[in-house]
Chain A
């Protein structure tokens, strides 16, 4: 059965558009749920919600700082899920966190907690294909879509296996590196998008190093859309408020729609 994340993305793609998935650090600021709603209204197809972890090895300075601020403010997986349970956001959500948060709670309980809070998808960047079995079984059972990452370093024979296991969408990692805004789009972003499009019919979105509307448009010429993290989170760190964050998401939406 196709989940809510994939359904929402396919609706955009089938209408001839490009998908936009902004990343919001869960619990960052008292108005973070308002930010989610504003971002949805500004044209996000799905929202990725970062669940802070103490040792986020895939994340650069911006998301690390957002993590630390949220953790210092007492945010836990439970507070985030409690907040989400009562929120009417308007688009599907996917939680991104690290393996230990899910493992510590117990994979089954974590997957069920996501589903109970209305979260449709999950991304665990330090649980690669070789280790994903136990989690994926629990997630499938709970109806949670497990998004898989595919990196530029993957040999050709690995990509179909990743795409096969992916639910919701396949997350192409745009460059060799951690999350963060770069001055230009890496050539590897377009390349990984093309390689993935060649092996799967599932939505292919590229993130990591996609920080401006121009870069989003550039990679979306090949991919089905983008994930935008650090650029959005930077607005939250700058206390731009729900409207300020949504304005940036609106710029991405407009650029993708005009392209």
Chain B
């Protein structure tokens, strides 16, 4: 199986689609045309590639983690997205979308953010391209990620609080969509994950495919042309996982998405429609969307990208939960053994390995180290009572 283009109606199997208010349909259709055109245009690809190399710092290295591997009884390779400019994989997508927005003649971008990584990346791209930037962030997340709020402001973005509902990522998406409905003519919605209406799940995955493509080559070099036994990534909406899975979907490698136990959309396997697509969604008996609960603001989302729902339903990828306590443990273990402080999001992937150490004993595991943990240090000081 490969991770290919969705159907003309934006579907991956039974999932996906374009469930947006009528006002936004023409904008989504325009975006679909513009992305298709740009992605097939060598000049666009070259410009983006140039930015990724000279601005974002790609290719990101592959690091073999000997001490962590020894500790967990397996061979562990990190794809170092934490070393990208702005500290996470998010920059891949925003550079692509900002370049596309510019090509479409838009002058402003609006974005949602959970942990702040996508917001910071969006603010960065907007600064680079001289565009206005509005970022919606849940009030609860603004509190737990103060540093990123200030970074966005330094970068010239306007951070607006999403004060409705659970005041986290889901509500920031609602507010960003409402803003887009009002400003659709000159504003591009720079969605931060492989979710939302078509073409976003496909487009965002393609902008992150570089993670998987680079990893495939780097693994081949290290593993005598082979592929790892497992490819593991954390999953909220699922953008870093989609990017790295895209490089290995057509191989024998097992694909694993580590979900926060309090936000396990696939674990509950109930399909629903929210934020523009049909996918698995945490909801009550009446279809009201439930609030996710995770130690990591970036994974605090009750849904998952539609292509992940398809990969789960078709059996190509497994999505399994890890608890906050397991994540905190993995966060510390990685810091201590590798000198790498992982983002709490990325620590979910490590927590899965630790939890499944019997299954993965002696295997080679590629982990998407999707972001660095600097932003989480304050929060962890509280959690660990230091």
Contact = CB atoms under 8 A, between A and B. Distances in A.
Interface of A: 53-58, 60, 64, 68, 71, 76-78, 98-101, 103-105, 125-131, 148-155, 158, 162, 173, 176-178
A170 B184 CA distance: 22
Interface of B: 9, 17-27, 164-165, 170-171, 174, 177-178, 181-185, 271-276, 278, 281, 283, 286-289
B22 A173 contact: yes
Nearest to A150: B22
A100 B289 contact: yes
Given A99-B19, A100-B272, A100-B274, A55 B185 contact: no
A149 B24 CA distance: 12
Contacts, number: 114
B23 A153 contact: yes
A231 to B, nearest CB: 19
Contact of B27 (A129, A153, A162, A173): A153
Contact of A126 (B20, B165, B184, B185): B20
Contact of B26 (A104, A105, A155): A155
Contacts of A55: 165, 170-171, 174, 274-275, 289
7 contacts: A57-B275, A58-B21, A60-B178, A103-B273, A104-B286, A130-B18, A176-B183
B273 A99 contact: yes
A178 B181 contact: yes
Given A55-B275, A162-B22, 9 more contacts: A53-B287, A100-B283, A128-B20, A131-B19, A149-B22, A151-B22, A153-B184, A173-B23, A176-B184
B189 to A, nearest CB: 12
B181 A177 contact: yes
Contacts of A130: 9, 17-18, 25
A154 B184 CA distance: 12
Contacts of B22: 125, 128-129, 148-151, 153-154, 162, 173
A57 B289 CA distance: 13
Contacts of B272: 100, 103-104
A122 to B, nearest CB: 15
B23 A71 contact: no
